[in-house]
């Protein structure tokens, strides 16, 4: 197993009501999971809690991650420590960092993770060579490396930049939060291809998405529907198809 979410309850500091109310989820290497659900159901929160976002308080339950072959509770790990262990969160809204060049940011990130994992770090020139095929694969303009992080990037460029970061860090668990939002169909295909090429039997991918659309290009092994902070239904990819045709209402009715 790579990730074991056990009965997680979470809330924000200033909310009284929990957003996650007892989520259970097991993920094994080589698997692709899709987390779906209506807006406000808690799907983004789940990925942020796994990545260690400081806005969320875990009041009950544990998140265990496979570190050196052992499942370990990661509650005490800072977000950067989780990333160094191999968790990656692709953001729904990538943040702009003015004055910091993308290449510098990517290299700092890569070197920080490599240093922790005992791998060799890279100087800028070597790093550019290392990035070059990845940039090509994502059909990105090479000049964007010298622009400030996400500043003035189009929605599509921002999302491609997230996948480039994933490709750079080569995580064992990638949580992709609404990676498809804001992408036109061509960009969606490119991003999906990028993700597919990073899939292996050693890593796992979690797609958090509102729509079936992305799942036409990245095929999930499991589909989970979150509603009001709980997984109300799990199934295989046919569940996603069914949701596309029938919406969420029938599931919600069943649940109630």
Would the CA dihedral through 97, 98, 99, 101 be positive or negative?
positive
Give the bridge partners for 234, in sequence order: 224
175 vs 223, beta carbon nearer other proteins: 175
Q: How far is the CB of 74 from other proteins (least distance, A)?
A: 13
116 vs 128, beta carbon nearer other proteins: 116
Told to check if 108 binds other proteins by CB under 8 A, we report: yes
Give the bridge partners for 60, in sequence order: 9
Of 14, 95, 143, 201, which one interacts with other proteins (CB under 8 A)? 95
Would the CA dihedral through 80, 132, 207, 248 be positive or negative?
positive
Residues in the interface with other proteins (CB under 8 A) total 30
Residues 52-81, one symbol each (x = binds other proteins by CB under 8 A, - = not), give xxxx----------------------xxx-
Stretch that binds other proteins, among 15-23, 97-105, 127-135, 179-187 (CB under 8 A): 97-105
Nearest to 165 by CA among 174, 177, 178, 152: 174
Per the CB < 8 A criterion, the answer to whether 178 and 209 are in contact is yes
Told to check if 148 binds other proteins by CB under 8 A, we report: yes
Task: Determine whether 2 is exposed, middle or buried from the number of CB atoms within 10 Å of its CB (0-12, 13-18, 19+).
Answer: buried
Of 5, 25, 32, 169, which one interacts with other proteins (CB under 8 A)? 169
46 vs 231, beta carbon nearer other proteins: 46
21 vs 82, beta carbon nearer other proteins: 82
Of 109, 121, 193, 230, which one interacts with other proteins (CB under 8 A)? 109
Q: Can you say whether residue 35 is alpha, beta or left, with left for phi > 0 and alpha for psi between -120 and 50 degrees?
A: beta
Residues 16-55, one symbol each (x = binds other proteins by CB under 8 A, - = not), give -----------------------------------xxxxx
Would the CA dihedral through 97, 183, 189, 140 be positive or negative?
negative
Distance between CA atoms of 44 and 36, rounded to whole angstroms? 10
Q: Would you say how long the chain is, in residues?
A: 256
Compute the chain's Rg from CA coordinates. 18
Of 58, 67, 97, 103, which one interacts with other proteins (CB under 8 A)? 97
Binding site for other proteins (CB under 8 A): 51-55, 78-80, 82-84, 88-89, 91, 93-95, 97-100, 105, 108-109, 112-113, 116, 148, 165, 169
């Amino acid at each position: 197993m790579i990730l074991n979410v056990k009965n997680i309850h979470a809330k924000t500091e200033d909310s009284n009501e929990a957003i996650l109310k007892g989520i259970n989820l097991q993920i094994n290497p080589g698997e692709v999971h899709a987390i779906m659900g209506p807006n406000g159901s808690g799907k983004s929160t789940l990925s942020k809690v796994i990545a260690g976002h400081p806005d969320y308080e875990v009041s009950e339950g544990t998140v265990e991650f496979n570190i050196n072959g052992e499942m370990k509770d990661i509650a005490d790990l800072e977000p950067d420590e989780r990333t160094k262990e191999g968790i990656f969160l692709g953001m729904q809204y990538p943040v702009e960092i003015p004055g910091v060049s993308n290449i510098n940011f990517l290299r700092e990130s890569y070197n920080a993770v490599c240093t922790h994992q005992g791998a060799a770090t890279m100087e800028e020139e070597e790093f550019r060579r290392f990035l070059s095929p990845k940039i090509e694969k994502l059909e990105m303009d090479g000049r964007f490396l010298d622009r400030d992080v996400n500043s003035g990037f189009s929605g599509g460029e921002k999302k491609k930049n997230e996948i480039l970061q994933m490709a750079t860090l080569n995580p064992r668990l990638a949580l992709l939060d609404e990676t498809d939002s804001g992408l036109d169909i061509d960009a969606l295909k490119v991003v999906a291809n990028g993700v597919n090429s990073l899939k292996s039997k050693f890593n796992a991918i979690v797609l958090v998405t509102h729509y079936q659309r992305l799942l036409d290009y990245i095929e999930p092994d499991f589909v989970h529907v979150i509603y009001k902070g709980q997984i109300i239904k799990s199934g295989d990819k046919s569940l996603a198809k069914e949701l596309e045709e029938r919406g969420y209402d029938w599931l919600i009715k069943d649940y109630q």
